[in-house]
Structure 1
């Protein structure tokens, strides 16, 4: 039976998750994380996309992205193939690095953009790897918290949901990350506050 074709909507952000085969580690050493980010840069040069946030965990990764010209599937196919070839060669293994196809979910509202970014940045905290998202070096959170130039990431896509100047937006995003989940789900929270 043929696989169901993915729907790609241009100008739509997606939450993408790709997991290691059998939930095995896909990042074993620091160099693995760096190589993945290097391949992400390479793929962006070949197939332009916008990246709002990311987090590389031990056995999976999250991307919050939209493609500008071609489908997300083309980007992910190229990225996962390059990384799988590197990983198998580096670690002397063969076979599938990633389990099945990547997961993707469309993000349709500004509030959903904030929630997905929050989920991505809090992933290492919820996994018990760090107490504060700023202490996890393999996510984009540090670029949200501190001003930095990145040709890979554009945090303003998410930060612009908040009012004020750049410093105020970063502070509000940090506060948003530290909110209780039930407060964000309630009607009390509004991005236009």
Structure 2
């Protein structure tokens, strides 16, 4: 049976997650996280995405993105594919890094963007990795707060 097609809208807002294969870690160290962020930045630029929030955990990540051109699947294929190649090359591995397809949920921008962004950056606090969201350097929390506080 064929997989259902994803709803991809120009101007769509998505909560996207991708988890490690068999729940294994997708980030083994800070260099992996820096590599992912570099690739993510390139994908956002190439596919004309707006990133509203992100959080890199150990075995998964969350992003809140707006797809100006309705190209979520193409961008995610690039992001997860290029990161998998880099991760496998760096750690002398082969095979899957991610477990199946990414999960992308289309959400209502006006009513849910703030709450969703809060949920994403508070993820490390909820699972007791840190006690305050600003202590986790692998999310957009500090950048979001700095842009609000700084003139």
TM-score by length of 2: 0.94
Unaligned runs of 5+ in 1: 148-165, 169-193
The number of residue pairs the alignment matches comes to 150
Equivalent position of 2:145 in the other structure: 145
Q: Is this contact kept in 2: 1:47–1:70, CA < 8 A?
A: no
Identify the structure with bigger relative contact order (alpha carbons < 8 Å, sequence gap 6+): 2
What does residue range 2-151 of structure 1 map to in structure 2 within 5 Å? 2-147=2-147
Unaligned runs of 5+ in 2: none
CA-atom RMSD, angstroms?
1.4
Deviation of the 1:86 alpha carbon: 0.5
Deviation of the 1:167 alpha carbon: 4.0
Alpha-carbon distance change, 51 to 109 in structure 1, aligned in 2, over 3 angstroms: closer
- Aligned-partner SS, 2:74: helix
The whole-number CA distance in structure 1 between the counterparts of 2:43 and 2:124 is 25
Deviation of the 1:43 alpha carbon: 1.4
Q: Which runs of 4+ in 1 moved over 6 A?
A: none
Deviation of the 1:115 alpha carbon: 1.4
Residue by residue, what CA displacement relative to the aligned partner does 1:19-50 show, whole Å, maximum 9, x if unpaired? 00001000001100000000011112321100
The whole-number CA distance in structure 1 between the counterparts of 2:28 and 2:66 is 28
Q: Is this contact kept in 2: 1:18–1:102, CA < 8 A?
A: yes
The whole-number CA distance in structure 1 between the counterparts of 2:107 and 2:113 is 6
TM-score by length of 1: 0.74
